[in-house]
Amino acid sequence: MTAWLWQGDCIQIMRDKLAENSIDAIVCDPPYGIGFLGRKWDVSVPGEEWARECLRVLKPGGHLVAFAATRTVHRLGVAVEEAGFELRDMVAWQNYQGFPKSLNFSESMPDEDAKKWNGFGTALKPAFEPALLARKPLIGTVAANVLEHGTGALNIDGCRYAYGDPAWPGPGDNNWPSSRSYAPGEMQPGHIGKTQNTGPAPDGRWPANIYVCPKPSRAERERGCERLPGRTGAEAVDRNEGTAGLDNPRAGAGRTADQVKNYHPTVKPIGVMRWLCRLVGGQKGSVILDPFMGSGTTGIAAISEGFRFMGLEQNAEYMDIAEARILDTVGPLFAGQISRYKLDP
């Protein structure tokens, strides 16, 4: 469960410190390029230079999973594809908890026009966040690449949805896969080598490109951070006490808390990141890289799934949070396996 945490610019760290073909998988949550809460680091999505370094350090067949905003995922996709990756799919993390950022423009209209346009707006409720699933080109066949490099395949059985698992939003019964009749010997979707007479797969439904789970709770976000200095809820979201801006749900999670220890504004749930690490990480002991470590959720997920982890983060305060959360995950007996470095400017 070794982990290496590097502080500094991720492109420079990859270029200076990581060898070609040394990483098994990359799972990350990059800046969305939407100016979230006015953060300077969110002014643009990672570009082709970043994607080329990711391609270089990945082993042949290694997968990249990178989250994005619905409005800017196309920019990230172009950068990844132009760098040489194969775009394989897109995964949707559904949480249904986003706050609609719609403008009620009828309030600024004359009464007669306001009545006519009442009920119209400018935005939908954000209910999911996409993640690109890309792969570095294989060398030879999938089987040959897997045997040579240990990369190129997805862990299908390891990521199946157990029957009744809310991560799968579709039909909840065990009738697989629908009411359609199958001819004798005909293979059912998702059942390699299994026919209609075998019934549902005992280990769960075939994993889809959808995963449903709520945003992380405050307890999940802050576990391990008890000894870190905190901020008030207003400080955590860059708002002033007693203002309308602080009362608005758009200000973000934690705005009403007395004290916030993990004040990173875009923390992903451990559950979905564990599922993604398991999907693309390959065999236990493989190395998963997160170039945008933030508060360390990917590290928690990778280590929890039996992988080694390398996290890169530019912000020193977020580094402290990530290190505390990851140390809490590995426990005091394995604290010596967590190494922290800083790239010389």
Per-residue pLDDT tens for 18-38? Answer: 999 999 999 999 999 875 445
Is residue 238 in some structural domain?
A: no
Is residue 247 included in any domain, yes or no? no
User: How far is residue 335 from each of residues 1, 10, 79, 128, 229, measured CA to CA in Å?
Assistant: 10, 24, 37, 35, 21
- Is residue 129 in some structural domain? yes
Domain that holds residue 62: 3-160+207-226+261-342
Q: Tell me, yes or no, whether 237 lies in a domain.
A: no
pLDDT range class, residue 185, cuts 50, 70, 90: very low
**256 occurs within a structural domain:** no
Q: What is the CATH number of the domain that holds 82?
A: 3.40.50.150
Domain assignment present for residue 250? The answer is: no
H-assigned helices in the chain:
10-17, 48-57, 73-83, 111-117, 142-149, 218-222, 233-236, 244-247, 270-280, 297-304, 316-330
Q: What total of structural domains would you count in the chain?
A: 1
Q: Domain for residue 249, yes or no?
A: no
Would you say residue 168 lies in a domain?
Answer: no
pTM for the complete prediction? 0.85
Mean per-residue pLDDT over the chain, rounded? 87
